[in-house]
Amino acid sequence: MRNFFLVCALAFSISVGAADELRRVYVSTGDGLIAYAVGDGGGLTEIDREAGRGLTAIAADSKRLYRVGAKAAETFEIDAEGKLELLHTDPGTAPASYLMLDRTERYLAGSNYGGGSVAIWKIDQDRNVQGQFAAQVPLEKAAHSSVFSKNNRWLLVPATTPNKVFQLAFDDASGSLTPHSPLAADGPPVEAGNATQPRHLVFHPDLPIAYTTLEREMPGVGVWSWDEESGELRVIQNVVTYPENFEGSITTADLHLTPDSRFLYVSNRDLTDRKAMTGDSSIVGFSVDSETGKLTLLGHTPCPQIPRSFAIDEAGDYLYSAGQVTGTLEVYEIDRETGALASQGEIETGKGPNWVKCVTLNPEG
Give the pLDDT confidence score for residue 18 in this predicted structure: 44
pLDDT per residue over 103-131, tens digit each? 999 999 999 998 899 999 999 999 999 99
Give the pLDDT confidence score for residue 195 in this predicted structure: 62
Give the pLDDT confidence score for residue 10 in this predicted structure: 34
Give the pLDDT confidence score for residue 194 in this predicted structure: 60
Give the pLDDT confidence score for residue 365 in this predicted structure: 59
Residue 86 CB-density burial (10 A; 0-12 exposed, 13-18 middle, 19+ buried) = middle
pLDDT per residue over 62-108, tens digit each? 999 999 987 899 999 999 999 999 999 999 777 788 999 999 999 99
Give the pLDDT confidence score for residue 70 in this predicted structure: 79
Cα–Cα dist 109/144, whole Å: 12
Give the pLDDT confidence score for residue 15 in this predicted structure: 33
Contacts of residue 103, defined as CB under 8 A and 6 or more positions apart, other chains included, come to: 148, 150, 152, 172
Q: Which residues of 198-228 are buried (b: 16+ CB within 10 A; e: fewer)?
A: bbbbbbbeebebbbbbbbbbbbbbbbbbbee
Give the pLDDT confidence score for residue 78 in this predicted structure: 97
Residue 140 contacts residue 161 (beta carbons within 8 Å): yes
Cα–Cα dist 313/175, whole Å: 30
φ and ψ at residue 294, rounded to 5 degrees: -75, 160
Tens-digit pLDDT profile for the chain (365 aa)?
444 333 333 333 333 334 445 899 999 999 899 999 999 889 999 999 999 989 999 999 999 999 998 789 999 999 999 999 999 999 977 778 899 999 999 999 999 998 899 999 999 999 999 998 999 999 999 999 999 999 999 999 999 989 999 999 999 999 999 999 999 999 887 665 566 899 999 999 999 999 999 998 778 999 999 999 999 899 999 999 988 888 899 999 999 999 999 999 999 999 999 889 999 999 999 999 999 999 999 999 999 999 999 999 999 999 999 999 999 999 999 999 999 999 999 999 999 999 999 999 986 65
Give the pLDDT confidence score for residue 21 in this predicted structure: 55
243 DSSP assignment:
P
State pTM to two decimals. Answer: 0.92
